[in-house]
Structures are given as C-alpha cells and as structure tokens.
Amino acid sequence: MKTKALVACAAVSALVWCAWPGSVEGDAAAGAAPLRVAVYVDRGARSIGCYRWLEITACAKNVVATPVDGEAVRGGALDSADVLVMPGGSSVDESKSLGAEGRDKVREFVKGGGGYIGTCAGCCLLMESSKGHPDMLHMIPFKFGPSGGKADMSVSFNRRAEELAGIAKQETKIRYSEGPVPLPSIPVADADVEVVATYNGDINTDGDRKRPSMAGQAAAIAGTYGKGRLFVLSVHPEYDVSDHFILRGAFRFVTGRNVGWECPRRKRGQLAVGFMCDDSFGVETARLVQRLVTEGEFDVVPLNRQLVEAGFLRRLDAVIAPGGARSARPEVGLYGRNAARTREFLARGGRIFAWGSAAEAAQEREGGVTCVADGEAAIAALRALAAEPVPTAVAIPAKVERPIRAGIFQNAGNSCMPIARMLAFAPEYELRFLAPEDYAKGGLDGLDLVIQPGGGCTSQYEALGEKGVEALRRFVMDGGKYYGVCAGAFLALQQSLPHRPRLGLLPFKGDDPAHYRGSSPICLTLTEEGVKAFEGSSTNRTVVYAGGPAAVPGEPVEDSDVKVLAEYAGRIINTNQPLPVEEMAGKAAFIGGRVGKGRVFISCPHPEMSEHNFDLVRNGFRYLTGVAPSPVYRERRRGAVSVRYSVSDKASAEFLVDTLSRDSRFFLWAGSEHGDLPHVDAVVLTGKVKKKDAVKFARHVARGLRVVVVADTDEKRTAAKRIDGAVVVDSYDKVVDAILK
C-alpha cells in the first residue's frame, strides 16, 4: 500500500514554496550573497557519501561550504549558516558527536529558519528514537522501519516532488546502503512534512532476519520544521552524478534558490589518486578534500574497503590514507583481507601516502607505505610522483604450449568481459569469441570449453536458433565443458515457463521465473560438495546477484551426475517492483557435475563482478577442466589514457581484448555507471547510440570527455549524430588514433 502523506496537500501548499530565482548564474548576477552551507564531518559522517557531499558543495556555484564538527556546532557555527548538510554513515555516532547541546543547536537552527538536507544517516538523525537508535532529534513524525542490505533500489518521486522541489515525477534507480525505511509515527510539534518519494521494491539479504516489505514506504521526505525547511532521503543520490538532479531539487526546496555544480572531471595525463573514506573525516581532512576538489591538480577518486575488495586499486596510481580512529582497525580499508591487494598495488609501482593512525597501522601491517606528516606533505609527495619517469610496461605472459581452447558467447546485451579478460591473459587458456551464428556453422569444433555469460537467457536461445542450440547441447553430451553464469545458468536449466525454452542439461529449474528480482549483493554458502570442489575458497561469500536463477530440483536427466555446490544464504531480493517473489535462502546458487560425456558448471549469481570473488571463478574453471587460469592483469601504467569501452558484438569484443587492452598506452576502466564518467579520458561506443545515453554523455563531452563511436552501418552513423562532439569512425583500426588525437 502506498505511504500516505501526513498532511493534506492544501495545507502544505499554503507554506511559502514560491518565487524561485531562475538560476545560480542569475542569483550571482543579481548580487545575491553566497549561500552558506555547513557540511557535518565529525564522527559518524563517513565513507564515500561524505566525500561526495564535500565535493558537491565545494564545486557548487555561489556557495561557501564550511566543514563543521560537533564542537563547532555546539560553539554556534550554525549561526552563520543557511543550510546544514548531514551525510550518511552512522546516525548513532553523529548524535553522540553532536552531544545534547549540539542536537539542540540543530533543532534551533532549523526551527529558526535554517535549511537541512540529509541522506541515509542524516535522515535517521531526524527520526523518532528507538532502542537501537537512541538520542535521535525527532524532528519528523517517522520511526524506524525495515532496513538492511545494499542495492540500487527503484524509487518513485511523486507529483509533490515536482511541485515542491522541481524533481520530475519519475521512477529512478538510487543507491541504497542499509539506510532507514521511515514509517509514519506520532506527530511532532512544529513539523509539517510529507512523503515525496517511495520505494518500488524490496530487499532482504540479512540472513534469517524477517522484515516487513520496503515497497511503498518512504524514501524521501520534505517539509517544514518551525520556520525552516528540510529535505531528507534514506537513499544516497550523492554517489552518482546522474542522480544529482535530486540534490539540486533538495537545495531548491530548502533555500528557494537553484544551486548548480559540476563535479571535477579528469584531465588527460593526471595522476589517478584514491582517497580512503572508511573513516570519519574531521575538519582538517575535509578541508583537504575541498582543496583537492577545487584545485583539480589530480584525478581524485573516493575509495572504501568494498571498492578495494572489488579491485579498484588497479585503476589508480596512488592512494591517500588519512588518519582516524577507524583507520587503525585491522579489517578496514587497505588491510585485513585486502592486504594482498595492497601489496600487489605497491609491488607494481603504486604509492600509498598515509599519516596519523593510518600511518601507524601501515607500519604495523605492511611495508612499502610512505608515511607523511599530513595532507600538505601528501600533496607534495604526489607532485614528486607525477614528475618521476613513467615505468616500463609489464609484458603479458606467453601462452603455454597446449592451452585449453575456450569459446565465449558474445552478443549485444551480454556481460562477457570480466571472464573474457581473465581467460585472454591467462597463459593456460586460449580464448575465442563466438557470434551466435558460429554455433550452427561448426564454430564449436576444436573447443574444449564454452562459456555462456550473463545477459538475457531467452535472447541467447533465440539468437542461437534451434540448430545452434542443438550444436551446443551435442557439444556437451559428446564431452565438452559448459560454464554458465546468470543467463548462461538459466540456459542450462529446464524450461519452467511457456515460450521460454532452455537447454535442459541439468535436473534443475528456476524457482520463480515470472518476476525479475533485481540486483543486489547476496550471501551464499558452499555445500559439502562445494567445499571439496572449491578447495581453498572460503565457505561463506557475498557475491553480486543480478536477476539470475535460484534453482530447485526439476525432472531427472538421463546419464547425469550433478551436485549442488553452493546455496543462497541471503533471503528475498526484489529491488525493482513490489510483486511477490519466492524465498531464495537454501536454493541452489552453484551447480556442477557430469552430463553425458561432458561436464557442466553454472553460477546463478555473478562472482566475476568483483575481484575478491575471482577465486570462485577460477575454481569453477578448475572444476571443469582441471586447470585454474592464472591471475594475470593488465596493470595500469602511470600516465595511461583511461578508457571506458562498450562491447556489442564479436568484432567489438575482439578489438577490446586483442588490441586495446594489450596496449599499455591505455587503461580500460571497467564498469558502466554514469558516475564513472568524470574519471575517464575517453569512451568508445560500438553499438547503436541510444537517446538516453546521448543525453548522459552530452554534458561530459562539453567538459572534455572524448567519445569515439564505431559506426560501420548507416543506422549506427545516424544514431551517432545524437552525441554532439563525438568522433565517428567507420572501422576499428581507426579507434586508437581517434582516442589519442
């Protein structure tokens, strides 16, 4: 059921929402005083969200942004502010950092006419206190509802969001990270607020804990408290630049002014520098972030433990690690299970500059970290690094005498690249890309292994055609190896819905194929058979799930011996819609075994999407072939041009793997989020340019991003015109020159 507004629209409309100035530039031209924004950076305000808020406010036009801590708030810092921004992190720690006096100061500030914008923990802080969240400010009539898990959640902004804040009525995906789900509670004196956005789906990945659904509950709340205005969200639109229109609406609502900004974008040749954000920032560290952002001397990328686990260090030349209470913990950031990645980063020439408790932790745990006195010394060290000669590129190992011959399906909409790069560089494997038509034309002849990646299962089946499907089935039954991920896992299962044919290789089917569950990290546990098969891999893992099957037993399959190797330990995911889905916990996530003379391994989720799960991928190949691919990477060479690349067909994939990724002048920036665009020098598009992509790229092209479009058909050439300023080439042999021009 939809969350109801707490007050009538007519009453809210009576508030003073009107008379917005036309633009930031208009404000400045009219002589408007700079907007004074206080950004809270004390204990509790941490991670990438806090960094993004510092970046946004430092870059905002006609804005003076001041980082404040609890002591400053208690000392009256808000007396000279127009808006207080409270980032995500821990609302309990934020409350403790403010103290009783600071909490009163925040209430008085907003009640007296100030503005308040909060995300995640900053939303929690205004809610009713509870056993797990004592000493909240209780400035809005909401209490804590279901929460937990991390995902990009589908959220709908309603008509009131457009009327009040200029946020168009729409559905959009926004990062959710264990934030609150506000439920209506007892009225609050002086508060007059309403829900302006609600969740469309649900997430419940935290073990056996039962929770009510998030669908239909509040995701964003706007209104007044006394004479002031507030806009809070339980999600994180600050993370991704494509969601910043929501924050512009929040500023418009609480200040009556249109505030604009452009986040820094990389300049070709800059050092790529990571900034560790696991700890709370503190005022001095926050000022360093503001300086790095506004001066633009380096391409600075916020980092946390999860991104280091995912392999983000491979994208960087250097890392800044400021000190703080959490920096000394063994499991935080660069240490614990990230220690091996940190050592590899240093061994290939990366630099880590640490001070304070971060430096002390480095001296205790890892050699090679450069300890500096403070942030100023770190900047001097980065400048010295930039002046050093560029190191020689490391050669990719040659293939062994008789590599395992692997073919990987490539078609538009399939996510083959993480596995393709792994096998293309591994000396034990020889990789060939397979177009759909290759299957029926003998393209599987001579192969040992076929990989069917993620994407769309039905579209893969239809692209192969009945002759291609039969060729793939015969390949396995006659002794070939089959590795399927997500859509490729679905393809190997039995048919469970009409008009959605499958190969039927395994005695399993999908449990709930009628509804797409969405995407989220989810826990899985290796079974006893899986522990034997995946020797050396830890039993309990968190992997990326993206709508793949949760497999249950189907009809028996003749001449097969198949085992469940891993089961889901997490529960329900449905991030896109409120439709009911089946429970996932206890259902098969990895399945493998003999089918006819061949062997099959399927992975229903996506372990290849994060580097800390690459051992699961390699062990999957070892389970099939007896040989695990060696971990070989094309390391970033300092000064390399950062390129994001789209793959659409066999030719585009071959060019990426055989040419572009082997050229040390380039570094392939893996990922597809719009938030990555400020950190790349160039984007290569190989498919038809879509209207929505053209809109996203346009602003970045105007600010220096080079977009190269490979248009080898009239249709692609016409579509390429949607991106003003794009460089259009008609063949792949012209791409390198187009990037470097």
User: Looking at residue 532, which CATH number applies to its domain?
Assistant: 3.40.50.880
Please choose, from the candidates 289, 246, 304, the residue with its C-alpha nearest in 3D space to the C-alpha of residue 39: 289
d(C-alpha 183, C-alpha 502), whole Å: 43
543, 616 contact by CB (below 8 A): yes
- What is the rounded average pLDDT of the residues 148-156? 90
> Is it the case that residue 593 has pLDDT exceeding 50?
yes
Secondary structure letter of residue 615 according to DSSP:
H
- What is the full DSSP assignment across 635-694? PPPTTPEEEEE---SHHHHHHHHHTGGG-TTEEE-----GGGGGG-SEEEE-SPPPHHHH
Per-residue pLDDT, 381: 97
**Confidence band of 4 (pLDDT split at 50, 70, 90):** very low
Does 514 score more than 70 pLDDT? no
Does any domain span residue 267?
no
Q: What is the rounded average pLDDT for all residues in the chain?
A: 90
Q: Are residues 507 and 480 in the same domain?
A: yes
Averaged pLDDT for residues 182-207 = 90
Tokens 């500030």 belong to 109
What are the tens digits of pLDDT across the range 322-372?
987 666 565 668 888 888 899 999 998 999 999 988 888 877 776 789 999
pLDDT of residue 239: 93
Residue 658, pLDDT above cutoff 50: yes
Q: Is residue 634 part of a domain?
A: no
Q: Judge whether 633 lies within some domain.
A: no
In a shared domain, residues 378 and 420: no
Q: Are residues 441 and 524 in the same domain?
A: yes
Q: Which of 71-80, 667-676, 717-726 has the highest mean pLDDT?
A: 71-80
**pLDDT number for residue 291:** 97
The CATH number for 683's domain is 3.40.50.2300
- Residue 370 is inside which H or E element, if any? strand 370-371
pLDDT class of 701 with cuts at 50, 70, 90: very high
Are 223 and 280 found together in one domain? Answer: no
Q: Is the dihedral of CA 409, 412, 417, 421 positive or negative?
A: positive
Q: Is the dihedral of CA 77, 79, 85, 89 positive or negative?
A: positive
Residues 6+ apart with CB under 8 A from 81: 36, 37, 38, 66, 68, 109, 114
DSSP 220-289: EEEEEETTEEEEEESS-TTSSGGGHHHHHHHHHHHHSS----------TT--EEEEE-SSB-HHHHHHHH
Residue 1 lies in a domain: no
Q: Is the pLDDT of residue 148 over 80?
A: no
Instruction: Check residue 650 and give its pLDDT.
Output: 94
Predicted local distance difference test score (pLDDT) of residue 566:
98
- Does the residue 296 lie in any domain? yes
- The arithmetic mean of pLDDT across residues 458-471, rounded, is 96
Residue 46: C-alpha distances to residues 65, 177, 414, 741 (Å): 17, 13, 35, 40
- Residue 659 in any domain: the answer is yes
What single-letter DSSP state applies at residue 362? H
How far apart, in whole angstroms, are the C-alpha atoms of residue 665 and residue 225?
Answer: 55
How many domains is the chain built from? 4
Asked whether residue 442 is assigned to any structural domain, the reply reads yes
433 and 505 fall within a common domain: yes
Which tens digits make up the pLDDT trace of 381-403?
A: 999 999 999 988 888 999 999 99
Q: Answer yes or no: do 239 and 353 share one domain.
A: no
Residue 91 confidence (pLDDT) above 50: yes
Q: Domain range holding 231?
A: 9-255
Band (pLDDT 50/70/90 cuts) for residue 6 is very low
pTM of the model: 0.92
φ, ψ of residue 224 to 5 degrees: the values are -120, 155
Say if 348 falls within a structural domain.
Answer: yes
For residues 209-219, average pLDDT: 83
How many other CB atoms are there within 10 angstroms of residue 208's CB atom? 8
Q: What percent of the chain has pLDDT over 90?
A: 75
pLDDT, residue 499, reads: 83
Residues sharing a CB contact under 8 Å with residue 15, sequence separation 6 or more, in sequence order: 192, 223, 224
Mean pLDDT in residue range 241-245: 93
Residue 291 belongs to domain with CATH number? 3.40.50.10090
Confidence label for 686 from pLDDT (cuts 50, 70 and 90):
very high
Average pLDDT over residues 10-26: 34
Q: What is the pLDDT of residue 331?
A: 64
Same domain, 380 and 414: no
Task: Specify the amino acid at residue 297.
Answer: E
Half-sphere exposure of 60 (CA within 13 A, CB side): 30
Do 381 and 409 lie in one domain? The reply is no
Please indicate, yes or no, whether residues 101 and 186 belong to a single structural domain of this protein.
Answer: yes
Domain boundary, last residue among 255, 290, 315: 255
Amino acid 599: pLDDT = 98
Query: Do 73 and 202 belong to one domain?
Result: yes
Residues 382 and 520 grouped into a single domain = no
Consecutive H or E run containing 32: none
What is the pLDDT at residue 421?
92
The average pLDDT across 73-79 equals 98
Rounded CA-CA distance 212/327 in Å is 35
Let me know: does 729 contact 684? Beta carbons within 8 Å. Answer: no
**Is the same domain home to 165 and 242?**
yes
The tens digit of pLDDT for each residue in 292-309 reads 999 999 999 999 998 999
Q: What is the dihedral of CA 388, 392, 393, 395, to 10 degrees?
A: -160
Bridge partner list, 455:
none
